[in-house]
Amino acid sequence: MNLEELTDITISDLMKRDVVLPSLYKERFETLAKAYNVDFEDTDFIMHSSEETIQKANDLLDSTHTHIAKLSSSTQDAQDAIRDGDSDKLQRVSHEVAQLRDEMKQLQARIYTDPLTGKYNRQWISDHFLDDDGTFQEDGALTFIDLDRFKFINDTYGHTVGDKVLIYIANFLERSFESSELVRFAGDEFIVFSSTHDIKALNATFEKASDALTHKKIRATNGDILPMGFSFGIAAYKKGDTLKAVLEKADKLMYANKAAKKVSRT
């Protein structure tokens, strides 16, 4: 995880507060850094960037407060219209509320959606799965996915092709695991959250999906068939487990899965 990604998660978390002060930002940033197993040695660089990130957080807060104020005003106008029997005013308020609903959806998408793939991002994990201390709120299972030979695709065919591959595989994963939650974690890494504790069944499901992706015939503009596939590791977690510990376990299993596939190809 880089500084920008961790910053976005921190901002999402601080959206719950009315005011964001530098000391609060620093404290929350450090807590989340530990939760995500991030080690930034350049403290000066972190603090230098804090003013910009705090401003970004406050901009989002201002936008949220503006929408709340609009909703409050529309609610009062609706009450007045009903009391006075003013159908024209009530219709106007109804239109304003519908517009406000669309704006709120856009704000939520800005916070929780990865702009490239359209899937959930890291920020969404913090708000929907973790307590303030970075521990899970409920039991479940986490599957850590790393794309196979993605660096080769980027280096050989360019980042435009690489981005298209990421979008294609993200959509493939979402279709393959409709009952689970898909998150683009970073770069070519994804996480699938499942409520089931049946690791054996999950392994079989992901093995099947991985094999199916391997046999997809996706071509580059020059006609080359692109190498498609992913390696994965599954780790169950209990309420109170840290994201850091669960990710470390899943990451090790993912690399074991990747190594086993390399051996089978030789």
How many domains, the chain? Answer: 2
Any domain includes 120: no
Are 254 and 137 members of one domain? Answer: yes
Are 92 and 188 members of one domain? Answer: no
Selected residue with higher pLDDT from 54 and 69? 69
How many CB atoms within 10 Å of residue 97?
16
Query: Which pTM value belongs to this model?
Result: 0.66
Q: Which amino acid is at 262?
A: K
Distance from C-alpha of 244 to C-alpha of 133, rounded to nearest angstrom: 11
Any domain includes 122: no
pLDDT digit string, tens, across residues 149-193: 999 998 999 888 999 999 999 999 999 998 899 999 988 999 999
Last residue of a domain, one of 112, 139, 164: 112
Are 188 and 104 members of one domain? Answer: no
136: helix, strand or coil: strand
Selected residue with higher pLDDT from 51 and 22? 22
Are 50 and 86 members of one domain? Answer: yes
Give the residue numbers spanning the domain of 210: 131-265
Last residue of a domain, one of 82, 112, 142: 112
Are 158 and 198 members of one domain? Answer: yes
How many CB atoms within 10 Å of residue 257?
22
Are 86 and 166 members of one domain? Answer: no
Are 251 and 170 members of one domain? Answer: yes
Any domain includes 64: yes
Residues with active-site annotation: 188
